[in-house]
Amino acid sequence: MPAFALTLPTLSKPQNQADEGRYLALVARDARFDGRFFAGVTSTGIYCRPVCAVRTPKRENCRFFTLAAQAESAGFRPCLRCRPELAPHALVWSVQDASGILVRQAVRLLAQPEFWNGAAASGDSAVQRLAARLGVSDRHLRRIFKNTLGVSPLQYLQTQRLLTAKQLLADTHLPITQVALASGFASVRRFNAAFAMHYAMHPGAMRRNTSNNNSNSSATGAQANAQGASVRLGYRPPLDAAALVAFFAQHPLPGVEWLPPGETLVLRRTVRMVQAGQEHTGWLGMQFEPDRHTLHLHTSASLHPVLPCVIARVRAWLDLDADPASINAVLHPFFPNADGLRVPGAFDGFELAVRAVLGQQVTVAASCTFAQRLVAQFGAPLATPWPELNRLFPTPAVLALADSDTLGQLGIVRQRQAAIVALARAVGSGSLELHGGADVAATTAQLCQLPGIGDWTAQYIAMRALRWPDAFPSGDVALHKAMGVRAEKNPARAAAAASLVWQPWRSYAVIRAWAGHLRAPETGQVVSAPEAK
């Protein structure tokens, strides 16, 4: 593979200076740049991922785009071989340019299937609802979008919906009507019209064209639908899948999560999702395929109506959209042996927050014991193909009504009882949102106002549930030990000061420090805070 330097513009129109580097990545089929750009081929009218296995097109026939929506707006159709919908998303963070921050937050929200259905349920257009959420006028939002990305918010949203539908058509046997509704279309007629306009074919024809590559092709559509759905999710290397699965193995929640013995790349769990006021429960099975930079996701049939939302949550939970090149450019000198580590997220933010409260000032083993007792007492039973998976995590509504005596019998002290009940009431009422689209500063401040929740818990929740890449629990004792600041007069302040060189990726630095990878590249010794040197 050729060595080269590549600088890509972020969420902007293609620039000639970067196109040569993009073409080199395309020639090398470099998976590190998967999802960071797409190549449109003028001779075929098709756009591809940089990892596409087809014959490399000539340079003069290539046009490059940062977003799939830009390629489709320019008249290109998605490749049926590399399938652009499988590419990892580009999560880019900024703390300087106000317009850039607005567009990036808008893109983040538009990429969430929950937002599509929420917009439909509210009666407002998706653009109006998005503008209201961001606190700007829809006219200003459209102008900023067009100036920054070259497409409108509606064009971007339409591309997201169509690519989601394309994945469901290719990887599942869901009825086309269900595919249309799950992808955020108000009716099958509108779905068919949009699909024909963008891809010049009927959805049924797309399914026939991809049926030979479908992993469920050996079963009939009815049989596969009853067995569940299997989809593929891509990610950028490096990703240490074994370490990621091991993290969950070290924080077990029997009944809700299960890692089969001897399997280092397999993870299964039960889930509950609420969409448009309707509850959906079921199970997930996941297996990494590192050689192909792919995660295979298998879901129960009961989750088919919310499958796009499930996919989005799994991507966030397992940090599949991380950009290792940007992260490692900052952290590699401090953690030279940890380039593949990701930040383990949470499928459900409320569940993660409750478990974080249970983990305050106790060992990991003790916190897992408390969580298991809580699930056994308040969790609802669920039938799955595996006897080890048999319960759902308690809902906010259930824990909001939990009495002190029952919680006390589980070994949970009064301070944490109050925190769990307050947390459940805030989430249940809708006043507190714990997901990747929530406002980080406002949410952490709101968390710290709840009884029994301090900065450590709020930062831990921000890191794993809010998916904030720069969270830093400065009061963490294990972090003090790894950073060599325990002897300081104020270890939290010393740790926070020393961590500034890791911005804006301190969440990733925390995971690497906890794993014991914090080393100085010159000496191989533990790095200490500047004041301790």
Residues with catalytic annotation?
A: 48, 476
Beta bridge partners of 295: 233, 288
User: Measuring CA to CA, which residue among 102, 115, 26 is closest to residue 63?
Assistant: 26
334, 519 Cβ separation under 8 angstroms:
yes
CA distance 319 to 37: 19
Q: Give, for 492, the enclosing helix (H) or strand (E).
A: helix 491-498
What DSSP letter does each residue of 320-384 carry, written as one string? TT--HHHHHHHHTTT-TT-TT------SSHHHHHHHHHHTTTS-HHHHHHHHHHHHHHHPPB---
CA distance 418 to 376: 20
389, 284 Cβ separation under 8 angstroms:
no
Q: What angle do the packed helices 153-171 and 203-210 form, to 10 degrees?
A: 50
**Cα–Cα–Cα angle for 326, 330, 332, nearest 5°?**
100
First to last CA, the chain: 41
CA distance 10 to 67: 10
Encoded tokens for 317: 């939970």
127, 151 Cβ separation under 8 angstroms:
no
CA distance 159 to 179: 15
What DSSP letter does each residue of 154-219 carry, written as one string? HHHHHHHHHHHHHHHHHH----HHHHHHHTT-S-HHHHHHHHHHHHSS-HHHHHHHHGGG-TTTTS
User: Measuring CA to CA, which residue among 182, 189, 177, 135 is closest to residue 276?
Assistant: 182
CA distances from residue 291 to 2, 3, 56, 327 in whole angstroms, order as listed: 20, 21, 21, 22
